[in-house]
Structure 1
């Protein structure tokens, strides 16, 4: 049996190691934030985006939506597509300022037209649901296709279901399965469930 004093010493060593690791992680996060802040103030668009995203999420800094919008705006003005997408979300939800659907769509379209897949997906969903902009299922499918071609798994899954249902595109089960398989291969659980449903409807299930 291990003596009590040795057990306590072991626990103390482990606790000290954990505290040192936590401190090192915090210091590293603070160092990165300081680097982003310095670069952002010097006009670096990528750093401005990272700084805005940090303020929006509260990672490494106290959450502050007003500062998030400020830095995302600076980055978006320089043409940074992720910042334009992030800024559109802030305007759409009214975070860090007044809700502004017109500005939200304006920045979202700019980001999507630059080929940013997250913006393309977000724009597709707005068209599909008729949220903020008039419902247009053809446009929804077109933007989902753009994002899916870039490997966005969620877009691939949603596009697959549009082909399966014939929404916004001509119904095509083979194409639906193709897109769902691509999404499932990336580990998308929703695509796996949808694919299983299509197999049950249209294909013979493989025997175990």
Structure 2
């Protein structure tokens, strides 16, 4: 992996932190939490998946505790939503679109980092998926909701899994570059948005209905 790709992956990671933090902050607004709750949800949603990823691959202390950017980016997202949340919600309808963007960004950067630490493609895919869904799961738990990953309605974990698999597959084929990482992120994001638009759902056990 080239240094340039490392830099791009880092920037995409920060972008994922930002959009997930916006998602967490908008959830706080919807739940009528105060500024403390808003910042907590923004930080947890933005950083939770990456912290879990780094702990699992032995990258300690996690990047969230070694780079100032990982702390300041969620704070910037918190300030944006705190002062201008009506405008944020109008420009990008709702929490779910930001969540989908974070999902796509984190599943790819998590997989890239796992591969860089020498994990097998299969384990890198699993860790990339965990990176993508971890922050959202913590956000949902703290805000009193059932984590979306547990029932995967309108496809949540599956787009992340496919995005991570695309990164691992292209890496195994010897294909590297900025476009690979960004393209896989767009793939996961697009699948999540289409699932929300058309109501695609993961299958339930036989005989179980709504």
Please indicate the TM-score interval, normalised by the length of the shorter structure: under 0.3
TM-score by length of 1: 0.23
**Larger Rg over CA atoms:** 1
Q: Which has the higher contact order (CA 8 A, sep 6+)?
A: 2
